Chains A and B, each alone.
Chain A
């Protein structure tokens, strides 16, 4: 094989693992892209309370939706279906959960916001979705979420839907990888 061919060959062989790595790089890139643009209704950041200016804004309605992922037997529903809230002010909403089975289970709630361009304006200070819930058989709980919708919310949005899907993660419970992923989400 001549020199030129060897050079071409080496370049191409290097390109293959690079593109393989690029496939994996798409995973964080996707999250970053969603975070920067606020797409996908993903809620990424909760900020410290003192960083937020609390002032009066306008009236909007906040609607809650709860969904059980397939085979998740728990009762899971918002205490109020709709709340009328002021932008720029803290509000606390609660969700009722009950482990209806006869074994101890762990759950993880995953949030989503619609419309997606409202996602970046919804700031959560505390949320049960930041941690896993472990409930004993028959145990019930009221899970709080403390949130604020900033005054910069586009004026055409009068109604925000905050949806939670609850997953059964009993099997994954002690998985370290999972914990890492949750950190990323917060």
Chain B
């Protein structure tokens, strides 16, 4: 830090370099944040296009548009791209932009590693997407890639899939190491841990989760690689291995991964609700403790994804109760947001609309998760569209709505222009209606027994599937409006003040809009 405080009284201002090399060589946290956000937007549109293929096929019963083999590739790539290419890089991008500004740091702690962790990502997804054009097609075993589907019966492209997961893992691990080192060591004097903005807290916890579980995922795919190419039998029963072991290792990663995709959303929504309610957050420390307990519990509930593998009763009861326990800290958070809004002078600008609908719709997704935690009920719901409805409710109007809320909330700070409020509201209502029309009927067809991951279905599911597809097209195409709004805001618009929002709190609102290329070269004073 001392190196930074030594006065560099150069007269000229260090602006960004010009041309493409600015983006290739940049070590600036704002540039890298921008790169991450645009990358995740591109992946969101690609993964979304795949979702459109899926819903088009399911519009009517019978095989309509694609071959079943291609359908399987679509569901696999849709899941992988949305999780590893859409949601996670978007949150990393937000962390890059916001964490240093929120804690009064000049940049991330490891700027060169920051550059590397972004620039290996496009290669990972190039490798993954190129498998679509390989002999035997892209991975077709679902995003959970259960062995032996992903080992003995996998298409040859599975090796490319494994390497792309390795690269994604390396990128996430480097990104999270960077976040932890930054938060732990570069806070401006006076910002103690319990004074950190909640988004920073949420990312600190998320980063620890990532460092703990991404290596386990890397281990799982490495074992697959060895089973496929080097004759080991980790998951091969003929050689003394066990396919159920794969599921244990995968979900040991997979369940914390679920919270990796929602904790930063909790942070974002807390900021936005506080701002537009023009009140203090109801309970700051309870929010922090709730996030910590959710993170710790996430390590002891993984087997609730596997209730039907033939577990003994004692294990099923343990994982059922441990899972239900998570509803307690989650409830603390939801009531906290509601109590923050209570008697506030609320205005409903676009970010607030997304944040409030996050609270409502995420709670719906949380409650259907609670239903799935009930062991005897899960035997009925397992691998049906009820599960699909559940996790899309927590991921789309959960994680993705929070990302959209964050973009509307902070974009005036990023590019200095206000977005078009009328278009923003239109985008919100189209998305809100689209999401619910898409996913709410999936609860019904799931409870009625429609299994997931099939390109065809029995006739009694036809009506709700058609409704769901119509909703999906509405939601999908309204995201092009989002793209338009973002581009329009970047190009121009009403100039933003530095505070932007009347009720905004935090260091990022003390710098000019757009935020200068270098901020807080000298740490700010915080009481």
Q: Which B residues are in CB contact (< 8 Å) with A165?
A: 237
Q: Which B residues are in CB contact (< 8 Å) with A185?
A: 240
Please determine whether B239 and A178 come into contact, CB atoms closer than 8 angstroms. Answer: yes
* B184 proximal to A (CB < 8 A): yes
* A141 proximal to B (CB < 8 A): no
Please determine whether A181 and B233 come into contact, CB atoms closer than 8 angstroms. Answer: yes
Number of residues on chain B facing chain A (CB within 8 A): 41
B78 to chain A, nearest CB (A): 26
Stretch at the interface among B207-215, B398-406, B444-452: B207-215
B256 to chain A, nearest CB (A): 11
Within 8 A of A (CB), among B208-242: 211-220, 223, 231-234, 237-242
Given A12-B177, A169-B238, A185-B240, are A22 and B216 also a contact pair (CB < 8 Å)?
yes
Q: Which B residues are in CB contact (< 8 Å) with A40?
A: 242, 244, 310
Stretch at the interface among B245-253, B324-332, B383-391, B506-514: B245-253
Q: Which A residues are in CB contact (< 8 Å) with B212?
A: 15, 19
Within 8 A of A (CB), among B165-203: 173, 177, 180-181, 184-186
Please determine whether B216 and A177 come into contact, CB atoms closer than 8 angstroms. Answer: no
Alpha-carbon distance between A110 and B181 when the two chains are bound, in angstroms: 49
Please determine whether B231 and A177 come into contact, CB atoms closer than 8 angstroms. Answer: yes
Please determine whether A16 and B245 come into contact, CB atoms closer than 8 angstroms. Answer: no
Q: Which B residues are in CB contact (< 8 Å) with A169?
A: 238-239
A35 to chain B, nearest CB (A): 12
Given A16-B211, A19-B216, are A9 and B242 also a contact pair (CB < 8 Å)?
no
Given A12-B211, A19-B211, A24-B223, are A5 and B240 also a contact pair (CB < 8 Å)?
no
* A87 proximal to B (CB < 8 A): no
Which of A16, A22, A108, A175 counts the most B-chain CB atoms under 10 A from its CB? Answer: A16
* A117 proximal to B (CB < 8 A): yes
- Residue interface bits A14-31, CB-to-B below 8 A is 1, else 0: 011111111110110010
Q: Which A residues are in CB contact (< 8 Å) with B234?
A: 27
Please determine whether B252 and A26 come into contact, CB atoms closer than 8 angstroms. Answer: yes
Please determine whether A4 and B233 come into contact, CB atoms closer than 8 angstroms. Answer: no
Alpha-carbon distance between A165 and B242 when the two chains are bound, in angstroms: 13
Which applies to chain A's interface (DSSP): helix, strand, loop or mixed?
helix
Alpha-carbon distance between A39 and B314 when the two chains are bound, in angstroms: 10
* A182 proximal to B (CB < 8 A): yes
A159 to chain B, nearest CB (A): 17
Q: Which B residues are in CB contact (< 8 Å) with A18?
A: 215
Q: Which B residues are in CB contact (< 8 Å) with A21?
A: 219
Which of B217, B310, B315 counts the most A-chain CB atoms under 10 A from its CB? Answer: B310
Number of residues on chain A facing chain B (CB within 8 A): 41
Alpha-carbon distance between A1 and B223 when the two chains are bound, in angstroms: 37
- Residue interface bits B296-329, CB-to-A below 8 A is 1, else 0: 0000000000000011100100000000000000
A108 to chain B, nearest CB (A): 6
Please determine whether A177 and B238 come into contact, CB atoms closer than 8 angstroms. Answer: no
Please determine whether A20 and B238 come into contact, CB atoms closer than 8 angstroms. Answer: no
Which of B109, B173, B216, B237 is in CB contact (< 8 Å) with A110? B237
Alpha-carbon distance between A175 and B239 when the two chains are bound, in angstroms: 10
A118 to chain B, nearest CB (A): 12
Chain A residue nearest in CB terms to B216: A23
* B288 proximal to A (CB < 8 A): no
Please determine whether B216 and A12 come into contact, CB atoms closer than 8 angstroms. Answer: no
Which of A12, A175, A181 is in CB contact (< 8 Å) with B181? A12
B4 to chain A, nearest CB (A): 10
* A172 proximal to B (CB < 8 A): yes
Chain A residue nearest in CB terms to B245: A30
A129 to chain B, nearest CB (A): 10
Please determine whether A8 and B186 come into contact, CB atoms closer than 8 angstroms. Answer: no
Alpha-carbon distance between A185 and B240 when the two chains are bound, in angstroms: 7
Chain B residue nearest in CB terms to A3: B185
* A59 proximal to B (CB < 8 A): no
Q: Which B residues are in CB contact (< 8 Å) with A37?
A: 312
Which of B110, B231, B240, B310 is in CB contact (< 8 Å) with A9? B110
Given A23-B249, A181-B233, are A2 and B238 also a contact pair (CB < 8 Å)?
no
Given A30-B245, A185-B240, are A15 and B211 also a contact pair (CB < 8 Å)?
yes
Alpha-carbon distance between A110 and B249 when the two chains are bound, in angstroms: 22
Given A2-B1, A30-B245, A30-B248, are A110 and B215 also a contact pair (CB < 8 Å)?
no
Please determine whether B184 and A108 come into contact, CB atoms closer than 8 angstroms. Answer: no
Please determine whether A177 and B232 come into contact, CB atoms closer than 8 angstroms. Answer: yes
Alpha-carbon distance between A178 and B227 when the two chains are bound, in angstroms: 11
Closest 6 CB pairs of A and B: A23-B219, A167-B238, A181-B240, A19-B215, A20-B215, A5-B185
List 9 interface pairs A-B (beta carbons < 8 Å), by A numbering.
A4-B185, A5-B185, A5-B186, A13-B177, A16-B177, A22-B215, A40-B244, A110-B237, A167-B238
- Given contacts A2-B185, A177-B233, A181-B241, 6 further A-B pairs with CB under 8 A are A5-B186, A12-B180, A20-B215, A30-B248, A40-B244, A168-B238
Q: Could you tell me which A residues sit within 8 Å of B by CB distance?
A: 1-2, 4-5, 8-9, 12-13, 15-24, 26-27, 30, 37, 39-40, 69, 108, 110, 116-117, 165, 167-169, 172, 175, 177-178, 181-182, 184-185
